Amino acid sequence: MSEERHSKPMVEPLLTDKLEIARRESENGLRQTDFVLQEIRRHIAPGAARFKLRLSTLLTLNREAVEGIERNAGAFRTGGMEIFGSCHKPPPGRDVPGLVEELCEYVNENWDTASAVHLSAYVMWRINWIHPFDDGNGRTARAASYLVLSIRMGCVLPGEQTLPDRISASKNPYYHALEAADTAERKSGTIDVSQLEALIESGLAAQFVEAIDAATGNQKPS
């Protein structure tokens, strides 16, 4: 697996200029991060209602990621999807809403019994497996995964470079972990996100070390 893994929707994007796309992606990334932090704080506040992962949350995360770039920002794809550099073939558009509902049900039904890392890994994998949007699936998956991880742990996680940032900076291990989970599902119909769990544990540890270094004055000069 290489850094070239990417998907190709069957609809034309709003933007084609690479510099403009990069600018909008940067702006959207900040806005998506703000939304994630607001949702974490809202759901961990004293007296907050029990968290439930909902379709509307995933749709909002996608809209924040690709608004102004894609025509169908914040909406499920209705057409086909191809992932280059992967053995996985995403399901047809007609199956997407039901599969996303099942994803949310899995998280909500296992909220009290599964670990934060497992639920986070499952969300990261399953969104990528469904590939429910025309674009921004990876960004949506990583943001949703981090949202679930943080709320399940009951805190805004410390550290300036977050887990999604760390994964985005080095995607090959992420791609390999996704492929491993896809292979388990394809060959035996089982949920095996152990490689993604290990990736999340490693990234989370690095994020915590960064926070500790900042607190003790041991930060490396930038």
pLDDT in tens, 74-84: 999 999 998 88
pLDDT digits (tens, 9 = 90+) for 39-83: 999 999 999 999 999 999 999 999 999 999 998 999 999 999 988
- Is the pLDDT assigned to residue 2 strictly greater than 60? no
pLDDT digits (tens, 9 = 90+) for 164-201: 999 999 999 999 999 999 999 999 999 999 999 999 99
User: Can you give the pLDDT at residue 215?
Assistant: 92
User: Can you give the pLDDT at residue 11?
Assistant: 72
Q: Cα(204)–Cα(98) distance, rounded to whole angstroms?
A: 31
Within 10 Å of residue 30's Cβ, how many Cβ atoms? Answer: 10
Which pLDDT band, with edges at 50, 70 and 90, does 1 fall under? very low
Q: Which structural domains are found in the chain, ordered by start?
A: 6-156 (1.10.3290.10)
How much is the average pLDDT of 147-171?
95
User: Can you give the pLDDT at residue 4?
Assistant: 62
CB-based contact 178:128 (threshold 8 Å): yes
Mean pLDDT rounded to a whole number for the chain: 92
How much is the average pLDDT of 140-162?
96
pLDDT digits (tens, 9 = 90+) for 192-204: 999 999 999 999 9
How much is the average pLDDT of 142-163?
96
Percent of the chain having pLDDT more than 90?
Answer: 82
Letter string b/e over residues 135-154, b meaning 16 or more CB atoms within 10 A of that residue's CB = bbbbbbbbbbbbbbbbbbbe
Structure tokens, 139: 């960004």
User: Can you give the pLDDT at residue 14?
Assistant: 78
**Which positions ≥6 away from 116 have C-beta within 8 Å?**
148, 149, 152, 153
Which pLDDT band, with edges at 50, 70 and 90, does 119 fall under? very high
How much is the average pLDDT of 114-141?
97
**Which positions ≥6 away from 34 have C-beta within 8 Å?**
none
User: Can you give the pLDDT at residue 208?
Assistant: 94
Listing DSSP states for the chain in one string gives --TT-EEEESS--S---HHHHHHHHHHHHHHHHHHHHHHHHHHHSTTPPPP---HHHHHHHHHHHHTTTSTTTTS---S-EEEET-S--PPPGGGHHHHHHHHHHHHHHTTTTS-HHHHHHHHHHHHHHH--SSS-HHHHHHHHHHHHHHHHHTS----SS-HHHHHHHS-HHHHHHHHHHHHHHHHH-----HHHHHHHHHHHHHHHHHHHHHHHT-PPP-
- Is the pLDDT assigned to residue 15 strictly greater than 80? no
